[in-house]
Structure 1
Amino acid sequence: MSDSSSTETLLAILRREVAGLAPGDRLPSSRELIARHGVGPVTVARAIAQLAAEGTVVTRPGSGTYVAPRQARSGDAPGDTSWQAIALAGRDRGTIDADPGEADGPPAPPPPGTVPLSGGYLHENLQPTRALGAALARAARRPDAWHRAPAAGLAPLRAIFARQAGGTVGPEDVLVTGGGQGALSMLFRAVAAPGSPLLVESPTYPGALAAARAAGLRPVPVPTDEDGVRPDLLADAFAMTGARLFYCQPTFHNPTGTVLAPRRRHQVVDVARAAGAFLVEDDFARHLGHGGPVPRPLVADDRDGTVVHLTSLTKPASPSLRIGAVIARGPVMRRLLAMRRVDDFFIARPLQEAAVELLSTPAWDRHLRSLATALRERCAVLAGALAHELPDWTLARPPAGGLHLWLQLPAGLADTALTEAARTHGVAANPGRHYFPSEPPATHLRLNFAAATEPVDLTEAAHRLATAAHSLT
């Protein structure tokens, strides 16, 4: 058993014991805990330190560990926050309560034994943790590691993002951001006035819908098919709404995994240009391909600033590597820089330095190659298991990149009811309704094949999903 799992097990035991004690009662000594539970002194020390940090116990050197006073632990009498109802009056909660975390943010801890197929991140064993640690250590040793960073970001990092985009993109076109979600929020606020329409693919990333609504924008759905967004309907939507902003994910779309067809890529940009609108290209999954060719970003072939490009390192690396970039040309970049100076001045330099270190080493390329192999294997395992266990669920086309399978459910099977039933059977999944800006045309489920510990867990998850589905019929 690993140190972390031993600590969690001991913590659970001690929390139950403390719940039955009175404030001031003394806990067993460290020596007694080691002998009673068969753990090491480091595990005991970590567990006691965690309980002390939570305010559950207090430690007295030379005396022992005691149950903390109840008020110090949690405060039995909650404060009165009713005054906030008046202070927040006039702010429509619907514009800011949309929950991006429902689909892609940090999920609530699932019950023990649950196979996670929800969320939008890699399992820890797919993340380059060793390379990340080494990069952060090297970055910390730089003499200027804690100096103020430029508002637009470190020059070497901007150059790396520019090279990744290709075409005529240069470092001067790059603004380093704190991940993709913050960049979306900043961009929506910078480009469109509150009350304006925002065209989005339907379905789309729920975090984009949440950021749009928080900025006061009105998401307007544009239907997609197996080749991505339809240019004819996009042109109709621009004409009908007068929108000046279109958000899309042309490569390994979330949630469907679709890649915008080659014949449509120029058409979509041309439609936006003709409308005098910006096209926001969310390229979050460029490093999540499964080993095949990945098309050039739209921004690589755009010379007049129609395309505003977003990218991020959080998906292929780690949720805590909150480093991304916006690529833009013209006055919109100057506006984004002005917002940066209002919002947060600059992105923490040590994290930028660590990103430069990570992306500049052979370890990053090795990680991306091994990640592509792992994602391809996991995608095939889950798709095959679902086809065997649930043949009436529809997977239109296995994705060539990304982290998810997007499945249409049989008529009469509600996605929310299914996800609740799945949770009771030990599987966490995302209901499809959260990915639509308006009424869903059908019921869907999104499954993350990269969140489980091992590929074998995906086969078990498919079996549990079948059991959950049959329990509802």
Structure 2
Amino acid sequence: MMWKPDRQGKKPLYEQIADHLEQQISYGEFPPGSLLPSERKLAEQLGVNRSTVILAFAELRSMGIVESRTGSGTRVSRTKWEAMPKHTPNWSRYCEGGSFLPNLPFLRKIREALAQQPSLIDMASGELSPDLAPTDEIAALMSEHRYTSYLGYDNPQGYVPLREALVGYLDAYRKIQTTGSSILITSGSQQSLYLITQCLLSPGDAVAIEDPSYCYSLPMFQSAGLRLFRLPVDQDGVRPEDIRILYKKHRIKMVFVNPNFQNPTGTVLSMERRRQLLHIASELGLPIVEDDPFSLTAYGEEAPVPLKSMDTNGSVLYIGSFSKIAASGLRIGWMVAPHSIVERLADARQQMDFGLSVIPQQVAAQFIQSSYFQPHLERLQLQLQFKRDLAIASLRKELPDSISFTAPQGGLHLWCQLRHDVPDGKLLEEAVRKGVVFVPGSVYGSDAGFVRFTYARAKAEDIETGISGFAQALRELLS
């Protein structure tokens, strides 16, 4: 039986093919100087895209195992296998080592598909489309202001004027009172989470995360050796009493929540549960990490208050970011925490990269203090609501009896439950063939049968086409 790559395996297809070919060559099945099958022929034999074989050949070339010449095909290297060979390190083996785990297989497949097929309608990536970003506003600010001529390392805690601007921003928009010394500037929410998991926790520590949760899709928790315990999310968010149960049973050391337009479900933690959560955290001495990237996307209503604004005991580490309300490319996030924690994490960050570039920090400081910021937020909220409504209308038209969901009142995502049992992997592959990508719900720790559509990334005119492609893929698998 001919060997085939394992499509359900953790390793990308091109790496599996490269490893298999390397093994065949080492066994002498392809002697030095021999011609390998053409990219097209090998792709047909293995049942993969030609682009996957191209990547596999590139991997072998990087190790000096094969050589390719235009018009002559790909041959096994003669010099690699001579009597006194000059060996290139087997980089693929090194990639499998280390303690920092790679992204989940589904996320790698989605990234690979988007890289190979730029025309795919992207309903997977959790970011804003270019037309939603304040591009013109930032360009105007950069022409109006002369930025510093000093381009050396800045304060490891972050650019002081940006931290001072965030003090006013957090008070005005999030009802959080803090000081510049209690703010750490990061490159985004993920860096904040990384610093917390690496610096404030130890391997073997137990932590509680929502179920489903964006945190579940981040291998950084497993890379840090943490034990994850789940807090089920219902229509009102997590149930605080579950935290008490987990604490008694597993001695959890930290709780991670996304209470406002939670990713992926879009739910908002009820006010009563917020009070209960803070009370239990105070009673048990448990830190709460509040990730709050979506609050200011609230559609036509006041943004939900953060836990941090209600925190009178200093239990909450608050994480924010510009990625979901302005531009992910600015790479500006922040954490509000006790000064001792900020100093500890700033020291660790300085060891990693000596701090962020000062220029994006200057731009961000100017933007949140400018007359452009509030109009941008209002436009963003209206356009996100419009895109959400397009996605909902398309789903109701295409799959009225096959899918259920609750319309979110903010955020970027639509969390849907399928009423049919369809394997995640096959549905994703078929959707890619139909020209659209989404994220299977299992990425976020949920049971099979859920999907997450991000309506913020795709162009408005492509949303209906994307949902139609997904519906065709689902119908074909069901038939």
Tell me if TM exceeds 0.5.
Answer: yes
Partner of residue 385 from structure 1, selected from 394, 414, 418: 394
Corresponding letter in the other structure for 1:318? A
How far did residue 469 of structure 1 move? Answer: 0.8
CA distance in 2 between counterparts of 1:137 and 1:268 reads 46
CA shift in 2, pair 1:162/1:400, >3 Å: same
CA distance in 1 between counterparts of 2:118 and 2:341 reads 48
Pairwise mapping of residues 64-463 of structure 1 onto structure 2 (< 5 A)? 80-82=88-90, 85=93, 91=98, 95-98=101-104, 102=108, 108-109=114-115, 111=117, 113-138=119-144, 141-163=146-168, 164=170, 165-206=174-215, 209-436=218-445, 440-454=446-460, 456-463=461-468
SS at match of 2:309: helix
SS at match of 1:108: helix
Pairwise mapping of residues 23-34 of structure 1 onto structure 2 (< 5 A)? none
How far did residue 100 of structure 1 move? Answer: 9.4
SS at match of 1:472: helix
CA distance in 1 between counterparts of 2:156 and 2:164 reads 15
SS at match of 1:434: helix
How far did residue 411 of structure 1 move? Answer: 3.2
Compute the TM-score of the two structures, normalised by the length of structure 1. Answer: 0.77
CA distance in 2 between counterparts of 1:261 and 1:114 reads 37
CA distance in 1 between counterparts of 2:205 and 2:138 reads 41
CA distance in 2 between counterparts of 1:86 and 1:382 reads 43
How far did residue 271 of structure 1 move? Answer: 2.0
Q: 2:127–2:457: 8 Å Cα contact kept in structure 1?
A: yes
CA shift in 2, pair 1:253/1:451, >3 Å: same
CA shift in 2, pair 1:101/1:305, >3 Å: farther
CA distance in 2 between counterparts of 1:311 and 1:75 reads 52
Gaps of 5+ in 1: 1-68
Q: 1:54-105 CA deviation, whole Å, 9 max, x = no partner?
A: xxxxxxxxxxxxxxx97xxx9996973337747976x457x44546955998
CA shift in 2, pair 1:182/1:173, >3 Å: same
Q: 1:102–1:430: 8 Å Cα contact kept in structure 2?
A: no
Gaps of 5+ in 2: 1-68, 81-86
Indicate the larger mover: 111-120 or 222-231: 111-120
How far did residue 335 of structure 1 move? Answer: 1.7
Percent identity at matched positions?
Answer: 28
Indicate the larger mover: 271-280 or 157-166: 157-166
How far did residue 249 of structure 1 move? Answer: 0.3
1:41 matched residue in structure 2: none
SS at match of 1:284: coil
2:64 matched residue in structure 1: none
CA shift in 2, pair 1:332/1:313, >3 Å: same
CA shift in 2, pair 1:105/1:182, >3 Å: farther
CA distance in 1 between counterparts of 2:106 and 2:320 reads 18
SS at match of 2:209: strand
CA shift in 2, pair 1:315/1:86, >3 Å: closer
User: Quick check: 1:469 aligned with 2:474?
Assistant: yes
Corresponding letter in the other structure for 1:369? E
CA distance in 2 between counterparts of 1:317 and 1:238 reads 37
How far did residue 152 of structure 1 move? Answer: 1.5
1:13 matched residue in structure 2: none
Give the root-mean-square deviation of aligned CA atoms: 2.9
CA shift in 2, pair 1:244/1:441, >3 Å: same
CA distance in 2 between counterparts of 1:296 and 1:144 reads 39
Corresponding letter in the other structure for 1:443? G
Count residues in correspondence: 396
Q: 2:428–2:437: 8 Å Cα contact kept in structure 1?
A: yes
Q: 1:359-397 CA deviation, whole Å, 9 max, x = no partner?
A: 121212111111100011111111121012112344442
CA distance in 2 between counterparts of 1:338 and 1:100 reads 34
How far did residue 207 of structure 1 move? Answer: 7.0
SS at match of 1:356: helix
Q: 1:176–1:324: 8 Å Cα contact kept in structure 2?
A: yes
